[in-house]
Amino acid sequence: MNAKKLRKHFPNASIKENEPLSKYTYTKTGGPADVLIFPKTKEEVQGLVKWLYEQNWPVTILGNASNLIVKDGGIRGAVIILTDMNQIVVKDNSIRVLTGAPLIEVSKRAYQSSLTGLEFACGIPGSIGGAVYMNAGAYGGEVREVIRKVTVLTRDGEMFERTNEEMEFSYRHSKLQETDEIALEVVFELTEGDPETIKEKMDELTYLRTSKQPLEYPSCGSVFKRPTGYFTGKLIQDAGLQGLKWGGAQVSTKHAGFIVNIDNATATDYIELIEHIKEVILDKDGVQLETEVKIIGEDHPAFIGANDTLIKKATSSFKAKLETIMPLTEEN
């Protein structure tokens, strides 16, 4: 991999080498990207992706990095962050947006244009691309309900449009998670609404969010997907795990589905705590939790096993707690 060659080929591109991704992730953790590139247009992304594909460079796409844990060893190859590609154009009832634009900003623009349908998204801190990839949603709404079409790019540089149906949206899922295509532009289809009613809804949801979520700390939002028939937060609370500290990470005392960075946490702290929670809930309730947050990158050798004592301590303190709820027998 040769960053010099990349700069020579794209002299106008904004490129940083060996850039710590903890500067960009919402958890404030994660190792460096070999190169981090900040394109501003669809065509620039297409040119980069095509060239990097021909060079055999691995390419990772980031939006606002609010649903990601980047491992402490960082990411090899090229990382393309789309946050500078953020144009928003409102025309009649539709909004055409480049996918680096913040979802919160698009929701605000809809309100300012008296368009209803994106109120639910007023506090989701992702980019439009991340929201499409994840089919982001909150308070009964999901982006799939208001997307008309998405312009996507294949990893070898072919650009084309997908209709809403072709995106195969479902709970926290879109087709992009299988195809690895990159979302470049989205057209939202909204309906005319009363600005006061829209504003009231957004204020109500903002109140709910700020009163229930630990927004005062870095985090990656809800760590786990909602398992059918259960509430993750309640499972974690009932297992006595709320407030558990793991290195610099902690299961939030305000919302048990969040893990917050309270004291210079590493990605390893996050990942080990996630694994511990999964193990405990599987043992206690027989429920296999699945992460909503995406974990990417490479481990850092210096951090592997750093928390072994913590693991042992937490496991034995959990067993002690569990015995008070449910006496341990040979079967459990």
Ligand X SMILES: Cc1cc2nc3c(=O)[nH]c(=O)nc-3n(C[C@H](O)[C@H](O)[C@H](O)COP(=O)(O)OP(=O)(O)OC[C@H]3O[C@@H](n4cnc5c(N)ncnc54)[C@H](O)[C@@H]3O)c2cc1C
Residues that bind ligand X (CB under 6 A): 26, 61-68, 82, 99, 124-127, 129-131, 133-134, 136-138, 176, 182-183, 213, 215, 219-221, 294
Catalytic residue among 172, 174, 219, 252: 172
Strand partners, 149: 163, 187
Would you call 292 a catalytic residue per the annotation?
Answer: yes
- Find out whether 57 and 78 touch, Cβ atoms under 8 Å: yes
Instruction: State in angstroms the smallest separation of the CB of 27 from ligand X.
Output: 8
Nearest to ligand X of 168, 285 (CB atom):
168
Instruction: State the Cα–Cα distance between residues 78 and 84, nearest whole angstrom.
Output: 16
- Find out whether 185 and 149 touch, Cβ atoms under 8 Å: no
Instruction: State in angstroms the smallest separation of the CB of 247 from ligand X.
Output: 19
Tell me, rounded to whole angstroms, the distance of Cα 33 from its chain centroid. 17
Nearest to ligand X of 73, 125 (CB atom):
125
Nearest to ligand X of 254, 300 (CB atom):
254
Nearest to ligand X of 220, 281 (CB atom):
220
Distances in Å between the alpha carbon of 184 and those of 72, 96, 261?
28, 11, 31
Instruction: State in angstroms the smallest separation of the CB of 138 from ligand X.
Output: 3
- Find out whether 57 and 37 touch, Cβ atoms under 8 Å: no
Catalytic residue among 22, 174, 219, 222: 222
Instruction: State in angstroms the smallest separation of the CB of 305 from ligand X.
Output: 27
* Residues whose CB is less than 8 angstroms from the CB of residue 222 and which lie 6 or more positions away in sequence, other chains included: 232, 257, 258, 292, 293
Nearest to ligand X of 85, 115 (CB atom):
85
Nearest to 125 by CA among 248, 252, 27, 231: 27
Instruction: State in angstroms the smallest separation of the CB of 306 from ligand X.
Output: 25
DSSP assignments along 53-114, one per residue? HHTT--EEEESS-SSEEE-TTBEEEEEEE-TT---EEEETTEEEEETTSBHHHHHHHHHHTT
Nearest to 48 by CA among 84, 15, 96, 86: 15
Would you call 222 a catalytic residue per the annotation?
Answer: yes
- Find out whether 218 and 261 touch, Cβ atoms under 8 Å: yes
Catalytic residue among 19, 119, 142, 292: 292
Q: Name the token pair of 123.
A: 């506090």
Q: Exposed/middle/buried for 131, CB within 10 Å: 0-12, 13-18, 19+?
A: buried
Nearest to ligand X of 225, 300 (CB atom):
225
Looking only at the bridges linking them, the beta strands covering 94-98 and 294-296 are: unpaired
Instruction: State in angstroms the smallest separation of the CB of 183 from ligand X.
Output: 4
Give catalytic residues, as residue numbers. 172, 222, 292
